[in-house]
Amino acid sequence: MSAIHELHPHGLWQHFSAICDIPHPSFHEEQIREHLIGFAKEHHLEWQSDAAGNVIIRKQATPGMENRVGVILQGHMDMVPQKNNDTVHDFTTDPIKAYIDGDWVTAEGTTLGADNGIGMAATLAVLASKDLHHGPVEALFTATEEIGMIGARGLAQGILAGKILLNLDTEDEGELYIGCAGGTRIEINGDYTTEDVQNGLAYKTLTISGLKGGHSGCDIHLGRGNAIKLLIRVLHRLEAEGVRIASLTGGSLDNAIPREASAVIAIPQSSRVACEQIIDQCSNTLRAELAVVEPNLTLTLSDAAPTAGLMSLQAQNRWVAAVDACPNGVQRMSDSIAGVVETSLNLGVLSINDGKIKAHILPRSLVGSCNEALCDAVAGLFRMLDAEVIFSDSYPGWKPDPDSQILATMKRVYAELYGQEPGVQVVHAGLECGLLGSKYPEWDMISFGPTIRFPHSPDEKVHIQSVVRFWDLLVATLKAVPQA
Ligand SMILES: [Zn+2]
C-alpha cells in the first residue's frame, strides 16, 4: 500500500495509484486501455475505442449545465520507460513504485509516469464524480504519444462533438499553454570514397565535451553549444594544414542538443605544431564566446590508433563546408508573442565512418510554412552533395490564438482562485494539440497541468501542492465553461 492514496484530492490520487500499478510504456498500452474501458463499463458511461488505439468515454452534463459548450478532456495513455542502471525493473510487467518524498511524489529508480498519468487520473476523477458541475464531457485518452504521437495522428475527424479541448499534458502549474511548434524529422545519408593510410601522418582524436546539451525545442533559446557544429568549425580551420578525417561521431538523438562530438583525424607530421596551435586558439575562442552558457567546454587532442580509410579529400572538403554552413539553433523569434521562439532547428546526430555519412536534423516552427522552408533549405544543401534526404514524422504546430475564449475564461477563473494572473506560454516543442487541431480546426484549445520536473527520466517527480491547484483549476474551469 502506498501513502499516495491519502493525498488530496483523493479521487485523483486513487486513480493515479491504480495507473501506476498497470504497466503502460509506449506500445504496451493494452492493459491501461482495458482499465479505461472497464472503468467506463463500471460507471455506465458510453465509450468507444478506435483503430489507432485511442479510447473515448462520454459523460452527460450535470443538471442545469446541459446548455454549456461540450468539453474534451485529453491526455495520453503511454509513459516513457526510463530506469537507473542499478534498478531492476521490467516496464511491461512491473508496477511503478510511487512514493512521497517531501513535497513531491516520485518513483523508486524509474520514471513515475506523472506525464501523463496525472492528466489521465484527473480525467477519470471528473468522469467518476457525482458532486462537480460540468457540461457535456468527452474524455479522449490518446495512444502512444511519446513515440510519434500515433493516437493523435490516427484520430478520425467528426467523432468528437465538443468544441473546447483541455489538454492536460503540460508541466508547469500556473502556466496556460496556447500554442506549440510543429516539426519534421530529417535524415541525411551520404557516401564517400575512402583513401588508404599514407605515411607521415599522426593519428589523433579531437574531442569537444563538457557541454550542457538539453531538449532541442524547450532549451534551444538558451544558446548552448552544439558539439557537432563546434567540432566541424574547428575541423574546417584545420583543413588548411592538410588534416584529414578518418571518422567522426557526435550526438545521440535528433531532439537532444549534442553534448559531445569527436573525430579521429590524421595530421601531417610537418604541420603538427601548426595544428596544435590552431586547436589551442580555437579552444580559447570557443571558451570565450560561450563563457557564460558553457563554462565547462573542453577541446582535447589525444593519440589515436591508425585506421584505414580516410575520407577522400574532395568529400571531406564538401561535407565539412556543408555541415559548417548548415543552419542550427534559433532562426526567428515570434512576432506575436514576446520571448517565444518561432523557428529553430537542431543538428542532433552526425556520424562519418567507413564510407557512410549519416545526420539527423530536427527543425521546428510555430508556423508550418516556415518549417517547410527550413526543410527545403537543409535538403537543398545536402542534395548538392548527392546525399539522400528523408523526411518523416512531420506534425503540425498549434498557432496561438490570443483571443481564445477558453483562455479568457481560464485567466478569470485562475485569478478568482489564486488572486493573481496565470502565465500564458507557447511551447517550442510538440504537443498533441497540433495534430488534434488539424483534424478539428474549430476547437478552442488550451493546455495546463501540475508541476512535473525531470519528465522522461528516473528523477521524474510531481509537486503535490501543484496537483491540488491543478485540480481546483480544472474543476472551476468546467463549472465556468460558457454556454453554447
Ligand atoms: Zn506527456
Active-site amino acid positions:
78, 145
| pLDDT tops 60 at residue 28 | yes
pLDDT for the residue numbered 69: 98
Residue 70 confidence class, pLDDT cut points 50, 70, 90: very high
Minimum mean pLDDT range among 43-47, 218-222, 449-453, 461-465: 218-222
**pTM of the predicted protein model:** 0.82
Check: CB of residue 430 under 8 Å from CB of residue 395. Answer: yes
Residue positions counted in the chain: 484
Check: CB of residue 31 under 8 Å from CB of residue 22. Answer: yes
Domain 3-181+398-480 maps to which CATH number in 3.40.50.10900, 3.40.50.150, 3.40.630.10, 3.40.1360.10? 3.40.630.10
pLDDT for the residue numbered 335: 86
| pLDDT tops 80 at residue 197 | no
Check: CB of residue 181 under 8 Å from CB of residue 365. Answer: yes
Distance in Å, CA 8 to ligand 1 centroid: 22
Cβ count near 396 (within 10 Å):
20
The residues facing 208 across adjacent strands are 261, 299
Check: CB of residue 450 under 8 Å from CB of residue 463. Answer: yes
What is the per-residue DSSP string for 374-388? HHHHHHHHHHTTT-E
- Identify the residue whose cell numbers are 563554462: 295
Q: Of 281, 280, 207, 203, give the one whose Cα is nearest residue 243.
A: 203
Q: Would you report the helix, strand and coil content of the chain in percent, each value rounded to 5?
A: 30, 30, 40
Distance in Å, CA 114 to ligand 1 centroid: 8
Distance in Å, CA 112 to ligand 1 centroid: 12
Higher-confidence position of 393 and 15: 15
Q: Tens of pLDDT along 344-353?
A: 999 999 999 9
List Cβ neighbours of 460 (8 Å cut-off, separation of 6 or more): 82, 106, 107, 111, 112, 113, 114, 115, 452, 453, 454
Reduce the DSSP state of residue 432 to 3 states and report it. helix
Arithmetic mean of pLDDT over the chain: 95
Distance in Å, CA 21 to ligand 1 centroid: 18
The residues facing 265 across adjacent strands are 204, 245
Distance in Å, CA 327 to ligand 1 centroid: 29
Distance in Å, CA 146 to ligand 1 centroid: 7
Q: Tens of pLDDT along 124-141?
A: 999 999 999 999 999 999
pLDDT for the residue numbered 1: 43
Residue type, 450: P
What is the domain class of 184-395 according to CATH?
alpha beta
Distance in Å, CA 163 to ligand 1 centroid: 22
Check: CB of residue 226 under 8 Å from CB of residue 290. Answer: no
Check: CB of residue 120 under 8 Å from CB of residue 18. Answer: no
Distance in Å, CA 191 to ligand 1 centroid: 38
Domains of the chain: which residue ranges? 3-181+398-480, 184-395
Kind and range of the H or E run holding 38: helix 30-42
| pLDDT tops 90 at residue 50 | yes
Cα-to-chain-centroid distance, residue 287? 28
Residue 2 confidence class, pLDDT cut points 50, 70, 90: low
| pLDDT tops 90 at residue 84 | no
* Pairwise CA distance, residues 32 & 42, whole Å: 15
Q: Of 221, 187, 183, give the one whose Cα is nearest residue 363.
A: 183
| pLDDT tops 90 at residue 429 | no
Report the percent of the chain where pLDDT is more than 70.
99
Check: CB of residue 128 under 8 Å from CB of residue 73. Answer: no
| pLDDT tops 90 at residue 393 | no
Q: Tens of pLDDT along 352-391?
A: 999 999 999 999 999 889 999 999 999 999 999 999 999 9
198 is written with which cell numbers?
Answer: 599514407
* Pairwise CA distance, residues 249 & 259, whole Å: 12
Q: Tens of pLDDT along 94-106?
A: 999 999 999 999 9
Distance in Å, CA 361 to ligand 1 centroid: 22
